[in-house]
């Protein structure tokens, strides 16, 4: 059982992290601009699901292997770079932004969000650095505590990133009537994905 006082300390810290602009928020922003609010919420759900996988990995002690073996970190990282660049190319190939592209099925946005999160090895390293500060070995299962705290982060992230994507989707829909603006929007969205790929490529293991 998690101590209620510890949980009350954790929640505002987790919320502050959720509100800090980062790769997940930018990805949902791009999804909202690209395919509308529904896709943004689905992408946010995928990101939260991916973060829970990272939390489970950290809770089982496997995250230490990623931290200790640089080649594992690099394989995951470069897979994420390649996937983000592939998404950027897909947006440019469609060429019409939110107006010219067919509506993306929510399951595809969920998949993209989850894969982008899973191929960011920095997430599991962050989990290893942040959550153990609140773990109490005497309170019971370490894994259950990791999952409980991770769920708080995942729910908060889902709401915050989803709201950002909802706003971006509203902006994107207002621009759909102009083909020229649609092309600009398409390039801007592709630029977000490409920038996230560059950020991931430049990540250091420490």
Quote the pTM value. Answer: 0.76
Shortest CA distance to 73 belongs to which of 121, 132, 40? 121
Contact assessment for residue 91 and residue 112, using Cβ atoms and an 8 Å cutoff: no
CA gap 144, 133 in Å, rounded: 15
What's the CA gap between 72 and 13, in Å, rounded?
Answer: 29
Q: What angle do CA 62, 126, 200 make, to 5 degrees?
A: 100
- Work out the average pLDDT over 33-47: 90
Is the pLDDT higher at 5 or at 157? 157
Q: Which one is predicted more confidently, 205 or 154?
A: 154
In the chain, what is the straight-line distance between the N-terminal and C-terminal CA atoms, in Å? Answer: 32
Separation CA 124–CA 140 (nearest Å)? 22
Residues 49-95 pLDDT 10s: 999 999 998 888 766 666 677 776 778 778 878 878 887 887 777 65
The separation between CA 32 and the C-alpha centre of its own chain, rounded to angstroms, equals 14
**Euclidean distance between CA atoms 201 and 112, whole angstroms:** 18
d(Cα 54, Cα 46) in Å, to the nearest integer?
Answer: 13
Give residue 15's pLDDT: 86
pLDDT (mean) for 173-193: 67
Across the chain, what does the average pLDDT equal? 79
Domain ranges of the chain: 68-131+141-206
């Amino acid at each position: 059982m998690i101590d209620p006082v510890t949980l009350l300390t954790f929640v505002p810290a987790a919320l502050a992290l959720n509100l800090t602009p980062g790769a997940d928020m930018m990805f949902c922003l791009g999804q909202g601009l690209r395919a509308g609010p529904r896709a943004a919420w689905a992408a946010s759900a995928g990101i939260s699901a991916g973060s829970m996988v990272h939390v489970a990995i950290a809770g089982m002690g496997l995250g230490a292997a990623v931290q200790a073996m640089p080649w594992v970190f690099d394989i995951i990282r470069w897979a994420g770079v390649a996937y983000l660049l592939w998404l950027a190319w897909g947006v440019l190939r469609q060429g019409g932004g939110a107006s010219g592209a067919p509506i993306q099925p929510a399951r595809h946005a969920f998949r993209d969000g989850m894969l982008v999160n899973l191929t960011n090895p920095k997430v599991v390293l962050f989990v290893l650095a942040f959550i153990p500060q609140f773990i109490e070995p005497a309170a019971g299962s370490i894994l259950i505590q990791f999952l409980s705290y991770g769920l708080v982060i995942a729910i908060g992230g889902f709401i915050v990133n989803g709201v950002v994507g909802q706003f971006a989707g509203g902006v994107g829909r207002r621009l759909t009537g102009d083909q020229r603006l649609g092309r600009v929007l398409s390039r801007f969205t592709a630029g977000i994905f490409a920038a996230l790929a560059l950020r991931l490529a430049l990540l250091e293991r420490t």
